[in-house]
Amino acid sequence: MKGSEFLRKVKKAAKKNGWSFEWHPDIGKGSHGMLVVNGKVTILRNLADELKTGTFHGMLKQLELKEQDL
């Protein structure tokens, strides 16, 4: 899954479930940006790159989400 797809799915899940959602592409070094969902924060790297499995699961854990939520 690419970073842009992850961002889109999280945004859709947040809207569906009434969660707060913030995307700050300007906060972070280089191509990194900050994603905030329900007060939980994770850093999302270059949106065009493919997310590695461990990175994907780590981001879900930081946001306290499950794959089924997306």
HEC string of the chain equals CEHHHHHHHHHHHHHHHCCCEEEECCCCCCCCEEEEECCEEEEECCCCCECCHHHHHHHHHHCCCCHHHC
Structural domain including 56 reads: 3-64
CB burial of residue 66 (10 Å; 0-12, 13-18, 19+)? exposed
Residue 33 lies in a domain: yes
The model's pTM is: 0.90
What's the rounded Cα separation, in Å, for the pair 57 and 66? 9
pLDDT, tens only, 9-63: 999 999 999 999 999 999 988 889 999 999 999 999 999 999 999 999 999 999 9
Residue 70 lies in a domain: no
The whole-number pLDDT of residue 52 equals: 95
CATH of the domain at 9: 3.30.920
